[in-house]
Amino acid sequence: MADGSPALDAERDAIIGALAPVVDGIAATFGPVCEVVLHDYRRPEQSVVAVAGALTGRSVGGAMSEIGLRMLARGDEAADELNYPTRTRNARQLKSSTMVLRDSTGAVFGALCVNVDVTAVQQAQALLAGIAGSAEARTPDTTTFGNDIDSVVEAIVDAHLLRRSLTWVQLDRAQRLELFRSLDEHGVFAVRRAIEQVAARLGISRASAYSYLSQARAATGASPGPAADTAADIASPGGHA
């Protein structure tokens, strides 16, 4: 992930500035079924620096989505993801693409995202499939889009528990470690205050949450992300965990 040297930050700012009008241009070309979002990963909690279109309800200064968190967790290993299905909370079917932004050193520092509403197309396909007797296509999972990072983190935690049809109390130790490993892989802990947010959502202490995360990472040999909370954060009175 990108470092914070002044020269490279100036270069990244220039790239972001050059792409801002492209956001409007792409959205205008495809019309109201299209939304384009420009992200600056250097500030995950307010990553949206430009947006055109209104499919996911986001605005400038909004947080990255769970897809962005996953990209952030992958660091410089992140790669473009093109034409993948997503679904909004109001059940709109989207076709989405996320194209990572790199500076001259190859470090990932942002992304240009394009969402296209294909709900009408999916409905037509389902109708034709029903007439033809074909199997119905799988509906993609709901993707969490939000303007504040807390709501995104909470929705990811809730979705993980819902998929198991169990509450935190009902999970055994192995399942709890698996939950934290999965959340970590999805980039949840790459943003500050995530430990605190997850702990509150699960009804456990911050120290317990950090302990589960540490154990989950130790089991997989993973290391903390670039912006992850640390043990010192939790131990200090004003820490973020």
What is each CA distance from 13 to 40, 49, 121, in whole angstroms?
A: 9, 11, 38
User: Amino acid identity of 25?
Assistant: G
Judged by DSSP in three states, 65 sits in coil
Measured CA to CA, the distance from residue 107 to residue 77 in angstroms comes to 9
Q: How far is CA 18 from the centre of its chain?
A: 24
pLDDT at residue 230 tops 80: no
pLDDT in tens, 130-165: 777 655 555 555 565 666 677 777 778 877 777 777
Q: What is the CA radius of gyration of the chain?
A: 19
pTM, two decimal places: 0.65
Residues sharing a CB contact under 8 Å with residue 109, sequence separation 6 or more, in sequence order: 1, 2, 12, 40, 41, 42, 101, 102, 103
pLDDT digit string, tens, across residues 54-113? 898 889 999 888 888 888 888 899 999 999 888 877 778 889 999 999 999 999 999 999
